[in-house]
Amino acid sequence: MIEEKIKDEILNSVAPCSMFCSTCTACKYGKISNHSKKLLQLLEGHEEFLEKNLKKQYIHKLEEFKLFSQKLKKYAYPKCDGCRKGRANGCSIKNCFIPECAKEHNVNFCADCKEFPCNKVNKSIFKESTIQKWLNGNNKIRETGINNYYNDNKNIPHYINYKKEEKLK
């Protein structure tokens, strides 16, 4: 059972499939967005500083900063509201039905569903690695509970598994 004091935080952070919206680059209210906004705030006025103070031979540093600032703004202001707040705008899994299915079954996570694991989650929509994450995450939720799952995973980088896959090649 989800403790009431952190229920909203958990439901906003963890999608019904068990993946963490809060660590995704597309999430409006996620950690990456929040940190990017803070960094933009700390860098306020830096472009003007560079314009006024850089020597001509270092003017390329100004262009580098402008590019960095543009990219940072994209991370600061993504478009996705998360799976629980309507259609996910940034989710890389097109046609994902899991949020709607969870609502239909009146559960917060697939792990809470009596049909889990179901055959609806298959290779016609999802990559094998995504199916594996779905299974592993929801099995962990069943084994340890959502509070432990959340606390154990809330600070793990969203894309860390891709890095590990690259190292194996």
pLDDT tens-digit map of 71-86: 999 999 998 888 887 6
Interval 21-46 mean pLDDT: 94
Residue 169 has pLDDT above 60, yes or no: no
Nearest to 136 by CA among 155, 116, 156: 116
Helix boundaries (H) for the chain: 4-13, 31-42, 46-53, 60-76, 98-104, 128-144, 146-153, 160-168
- At 87 the pLDDT is 62
Interval 118-129 mean pLDDT: 86
Residue 156 has pLDDT above 80, yes or no: yes
Quick one: tokens of 44?
A: 């306020």
- What is the percent of the chain with per-residue pLDDT over 90, rounded to a whole number? 56
Q: Do the beta carbons of residue 50 and residue 65 sit within 8 Å? A: yes
Residue 126 has pLDDT above 70, yes or no: yes
Quick one: tokens of 166?
A: 């690259």
Nearest to 153 by CA among 16, 4, 22: 22
Q: What is the mean pLDDT of the chain?
A: 87
pLDDT category, 122, cuts 50, 70, 90?
A: confident
- At 5 the pLDDT is 55
Residue 21's contacts (CB-CB under 8 Å, 6 or more residues apart) are: 12, 13, 14, 15, 27, 30, 80, 82, 83, 88
